[in-house]
Chain A
């Protein structure tokens, strides 16, 4: 959706729906080796949705493997009402949440995932004298690191929505279905997540821009 320029072309090329259906039917019928082909387009999606939730490479990789194994074992239960990708990401979300809950009880963290945070500040950062940031800034490696850091800092309920919508580029309906929440909540949380990111990152966008007096101005509030 927000993809642009050649460098950002998707590397995953999901098979056509028909091909996928055919693969699934054949795997269930016994050609189990085709499972490798079936999941190949979604390896990245599964890993990243878990990684961004767990914030730990090692655990994310293990969890991603578990998700794929679970998908293999439960493939017969896939009814084809949802897209296969949505079904898969739902398993991934559940696995990530399960592990998060486990970690949380271990840490005695008092984060209530289901409670909507009404106290939060979801207003964007105001920048004066803003000019379109040159693409070189966005191309910088540090900027990508800053973004990953900012995403990590989002509370889980916002992070999961943002990741599915803006990183995995699932649509609202698919996101709602994978997260087990309604579309309205997806919209509300996505908006808040985006505003929180904007607030966290705007200073860096400004800081990495060429130094020029008053170029990005000061932030207030």
Chain B
């Protein structure tokens, strides 16, 4: 293994985002094939990101949308009134 683990760790994020240049990518993949430590770090990080993007991880408060649109509606009407001038 030419790459040290520490060096691989520095590129985990780019690896996951598929931003590595081909040469480094190849070296890292070769390292990953033979290194359980780095594979575990990669897997666990990937899992965490899957969880982060999962829509169920963060949920909107009940009624959030209704309250938002109700407040917007007020603002929109107020603006309409002010633009139309006093009746």
Contact = CB atoms under 8 A, between A and B. Distances in A.
Interface of A: 1-4, 7-11, 32-33, 35-36, 39-40, 43-44, 47-48, 51-52, 57, 61, 64-65, 68-69, 72-73, 123-130, 132-133, 138, 143-144, 147-148, 151, 162, 166-167, 169, 187, 190-191, 194-195, 197-198, 201-202, 205
A10 B10 CA distance: 31
B85 to A, nearest CB: 14
Of A2, A4, A33, A148, most buried by chain B (CB within 10 Å of CB) is A2
A201 B49 CA distance: 11
Nearest to A165: B17
Nearest to B36: A130
B79 A147 contact: no
B8 to A, nearest CB: 10
Contacts of A39: 72
A2 B44 CA distance: 13
Contacts of B75: 69, 72-73
Interface of B: 6, 9-10, 12-14, 16-17, 19, 36-37, 39-41, 43-58, 60-61, 64-65, 67-69, 71-73, 75-76, 79-80
B4 to A, nearest CB: 12
B39 A2 contact: no
A195 B36 contact: no
Given A65-B71, A202-B44, A191 B13 contact: yes
A39 B50 CA distance: 26
A208 B9 CA distance: 24
Contact of B12 (A33, A69, A138, A194): A194
Contacts of A138: 47, 50-51
Give the secondary structure class of A's interface: helix
B64 to A, nearest CB: 6
B76 to A, nearest CB: 5
Given A144-B54, A187-B13, A194-B13, A65 B45 contact: no
Given A57-B61, A127-B41, A205 B54 contact: no
A126 B45 CA distance: 11
Contacts of A132: 43
Contacts of B41: 124-127, 198
A33 B9 CA distance: 50
Contacts of B53: 1-3, 8, 166-167, 169
A2 B46 contact: yes
B67 A147 contact: no
B36 A144 contact: no
Of B68, B75, B76, most buried by chain A (CB within 10 Å of CB) is B68
Given A43-B60, A127-B37, 11 more contacts: A1-B49, A133-B47, A138-B50, A144-B51, A151-B52, A167-B52, A187-B19, A191-B10, A191-B13, A194-B16, A195-B45
